[in-house]
Structure 1
Amino acid sequence: MKAFPFVYHNPKEYWEYFQPKNWLEFLLEEINPTFSLSTVKAKVMEIRSESSDSKTIVLRTNRHWKGFVAGQHLPVTVEIAGRRVTRFYSLSSSPSEKYPTITVKKQKGGLVSNFINERLKVGDVVELGTASGDFVLEKEVPNKLLFIAGGSGITPIHSILKTLQESNYKGQAKLLYFSRFKEDIILFSSFCELESKCPWLEIKHVLTDVPAEGFDSGFLTKEMLNAFVPDLSERPVYLCGPAPLQNSAKELLKGNKVISELFLLPNQIQTNFESTGPKEVVLLQSHKTVLLKGEKSILEELEDQGIYPPSGCRMGICHTCSCKKVSGSVTNMQNQSISDGGEENIQLCLSRADEKLELDL
């Protein structure tokens, strides 16, 4: 029988486990891993390889699943080495499909993306949060659309195009999709099928690193846009992909309406700050005092010392790691803002210690 996950030695956390609701959750999970009073859980029904380093996960959700709008993303929580870890992924299926899917590309050093691609198996259960996001179609869908994607930024666009297909869209849509090399193209067979069945859809694949016969190569330019989309000024643009592509596209599309979505990976947030000496950090609830260097996030430095506060996305989106700072100053590593010395809520994954701190942990 599974034991309670006493990972972080917080008296308040211990007390929570002995509340009737949590005992009932525990018993329900023992009966069936997808049973829950209120949490959305999903069983992995199928895993499909979509490129050299990405997989689609087909999920059967429990009764608490409320669905989603094409283009949205959701938090996915898995257990790795006894720790619950959360990341955000876009839905790649259409909302009307029986089983929702996420398509996950392996990221260098990506804890969860590597786990999903290498260790997740059919029959496993994951936890889902509520779908959200504004990277969605307008209620009145324009007659002309342009989609630009790079890498795993293609997944919400795949969901949108599948939804347009199901709604018998009568307009014109074009997709410009950038991948490093041919084998890196995510959902390639699905896009081929979509293009063959949808006369309103035209797709151009562009390879940025390794050219291949039958594919365009290079990076986004004004000439490429004008050649592929002569009526560019008439189209709203849905843009999703890495920061360099987004920056380049937005510079070239200043006259267009651009709807964009960008997720920063944890390793895209600067964490290698120069230490100015050890900082004393007092954890009030757990009655511990530790010394942090201030070189990385408070979350990372606490974990380095065997202390594991609740955490999720590790990139400032989910707020799972938020806690009250009672005193002391921290720097937000994402925007470089410096807090005052008083009480406030901070995100441990984005904050580094500047001086002695007292945290409600």
Structure 2
Amino acid sequence: MTATISGPVTPVVPDTVTDTVAGTLVCTAVEDVTHDVRSFVLRPAVPTVYRFEPGQHLTVTVPVDGAQLSRCYTIASSPRRPEELTITVKRVPGGPVSGWLHDRLRVGDAVAVDGPLGVFSTAHHPASRYLFLSAGSGITPLMSMLRTIHADREDVDVVFVHHARTPADIVFRDELRAIEADHPGVRVVVVCETDAADEPWTGPRGRVSLAQLHDAAPDLAGREVFTCGPAPYMAAVRDLLAEAGAAPERCHEESFVLAGPPPVVVGPSGAAGAVGSAGAVGAVGAAAGPAYDVELRRSGRSFRCDTDTPLLAAAAAAGITLPSSCQEGVCGTCKTQLLAGRVDMDHQGGIRPREVAQGQVLLCCSTPTEDVVLDA
């Protein structure tokens, strides 16, 4: 879909049914899940039904020390409860946003949210047999998928293997067991590294291993696999799945360092098409391709950017600070209207297809192919 754009696009006012959250939501409930994990139920001020896919995330922005900081949090709730969006947040030691949410967000408070975003979802990879692998708070997108499968009474086979440090760190512990007991196709395996202070662990122990995965799902090479957790965990799982002969195209990760789809060539009218292969994203100052002029229309500033450097990185090298967070094409914080010119954009689900069609781009993962003008 294409459209001719002569200036900024007028935002569409959401109806009572929408697939877009771009504004504030009100916290209507807070629940302690573990000693350092808390769920926040968010609803719009005006009753609204949201369309989203299980496993998608929201970008949450909060004020910390005079600055607006953004982080991505999975919608842990199921799309079958479309009137609310629940995020489940682990307090990260020293984490400014998770700390703010735990310490400051209370029932009745409003919080700035954008989304839903992302393509890590069973909606994109339907199958009759799944293997869900998670560690720590990485369980949240997989829990959204499991809750949806359970709510729909889907006739599928799900093996869910979750790794936690101790029994006290098992997120959604009771609900996992309840779903397993109620859904004949679901099997849950929880693995802990060690005992909790007040509870010895009698189940499987240790870090993720091929023997664990084979014990849980001997047919894992024939399953659609979804993995989410800390980077070292996902790296270990990636190697184990390869060793087990799982097809790479059937193994899906939620990560800020995934290789994305082929870059999308975007022009100001939103004309888009895939290019053959992703270009390497180089560091500013490294050997690079041709450079082009980049004009920021509203601020009146400009800089040069080569074809191997993301626009956001080139702006930073020129001393220009633009809104950003993940810098990996996930959160959507650096979304900007392209007024003229063309870019290659290689994103990870942080922008919607219709936004691309409207000529918007993510600066963190877009490189110029000619002189460009941005509404910034």
- TM-score, length-normalised on structure 2? 0.62
Cα distance, 1:300–1:65 mapped onto 2, change above 3 Å: farther
What amino acid does structure 2 have at the position aligned with 1:133? G
TM-aligned CA deviation for residue 46 of structure 1? 0.3
Question: Does 2:24 align with 1:41?
Answer: yes
Unaligned runs of 5+ in 1: 1-20, 22-37, 266-282, 289-296, 325-344, 350-359
Find the aligned partners of 2:332 and 2:125 in 1 and give their Cα distance.
33
Find the aligned partners of 1:214 and 1:86 in 2 and give their Cα distance.
39
Question: Does 2:205 align with 1:252?
Answer: no
Find the aligned partners of 1:134 and 1:189 in 2 and give their Cα distance.
28
Q: Which residue number corresponds to residue 305 of structure 2? A: none
Find the aligned partners of 1:45 and 1:125 in 2 and give their Cα distance.
9
Aligned counterpart for 2:323 among listed residues 310, 333, 344: 310
Question: Does 2:37 align with 1:54?
Answer: yes
Cα distance, 1:143–1:262 mapped onto 2, change above 3 Å: closer
* SS of equivalent to 2:122: coil
Which deviates more from structure 2 when the two are superposed, residues 67-76 or residues 57-66? 57-66
Find the aligned partners of 2:330 and 2:155 in 1 and give their Cα distance.
36
Q: Which residue number corresponds to residue 231 of structure 2? A: 243
Q: Which residue number corresponds to residue 60 of structure 2? A: 76
Question: Does 2:96 align with 1:111?
Answer: yes
Which deviates more from structure 2 when the two are superposed, residues 314-323 or residues 234-243? 314-323
Cα distance, 1:299–1:150 mapped onto 2, change above 3 Å: farther
Find the aligned partners of 1:286 and 1:141 in 2 and give their Cα distance.
46
> How many corresponding residue pairs?
286
* CA RMSD after TM alignment: 4.2
Aligned counterpart for 2:151 among listed residues 157, 162, 166: 166
TM-aligned CA deviation for residue 156 of structure 1? 0.6
Aligned counterpart for 1:188 among listed residues 170, 173, 177: 173
Contact 1:135–1:259 (CA under 8 A) maintained in structure 2: no
TM-aligned CA deviation for residue 222 of structure 1? 1.4
Find the aligned partners of 1:144 and 1:322 in 2 and give their Cα distance.
36
Unaligned runs of 5+ in 2: 1-9, 11-20, 258-295, 302-312, 339-360, 366-374
TM-aligned CA deviation for residue 101 of structure 1? 0.4
Deviation per CA, 1:8-52: give whole Å up to 9, x if none. Answer: xxxxxxxxxxxxx9xxxxxxxxxxxxxxxx943210000001112
TM-aligned CA deviation for residue 168 of structure 1? 1.0
Percentage of identical aligned residues = 30
Which deviates more from structure 2 when the two are superposed, residues 312-321 or residues 103-112? 312-321
Alignment of 1:165-314 (within 5 A): 165-210=150-195, 212-254=200-242, 255-257=245-247, 258-264=250-256, 310-313=323-326
Contact 1:57–1:101 (CA under 8 A) maintained in structure 2: yes
Deviation per CA, 1:164-206: give whole Å up to 9, x if none. Answer: 0111122221111011111111121221221221121111111
Q: Which residue number corresponds to residue 18 of structure 1? A: none
Cα distance, 1:316–1:200 mapped onto 2, change above 3 Å: closer
- TM-score, length-normalised on structure 1? 0.65
Contact 2:315–2:322 (CA under 8 A) maintained in structure 1: yes
Find the aligned partners of 2:327 and 2:335 in 1 and give their Cα distance.
11
Find the aligned partners of 1:301 and 1:139 in 2 and give their Cα distance.
37
* SS of equivalent to 2:30: strand
Cα distance, 1:89–1:83 mapped onto 2, change above 3 Å: same
Question: Does 2:80 align with 1:96?
Answer: yes
Cα distance, 1:299–1:203 mapped onto 2, change above 3 Å: farther
TM-aligned CA deviation for residue 234 of structure 1? 2.3
Contact 1:222–1:252 (CA under 8 A) maintained in structure 2: yes
Which deviates more from structure 2 when the two are superposed, residues 172-181 or residues 212-221? 212-221
TM-aligned CA deviation for residue 251 of structure 1? 1.3
Contact 1:43–1:125 (CA under 8 A) maintained in structure 2: yes
Structure having the higher Rg: 1
Which deviates more from structure 2 when the two are superposed, residues 250-259 or residues 123-132? 250-259
Report which structure shows greater RCO (CA 8 Å, sep ≥6).
2
TM-aligned CA deviation for residue 209 of structure 1? 4.5
TM-aligned CA deviation for residue 233 of structure 1? 2.4
Which deviates more from structure 2 when the two are superposed, residues 71-80 or residues 41-50? 71-80
Find the aligned partners of 1:110 and 1:301 in 2 and give their Cα distance.
26
* SS of equivalent to 1:129: strand
What amino acid does structure 1 have at the position aligned with 2:226? Y
Deviation per CA, 1:302-352: give whole Å up to 9, x if none. Answer: 9xx9x975344466644645899xxxxxxxxxxxxxxxxxxxx99689xxx
Q: Which residue number corresponds to residue 144 of structure 1? A: 129
Find the aligned partners of 1:309 and 1:138 in 2 and give their Cα distance.
33
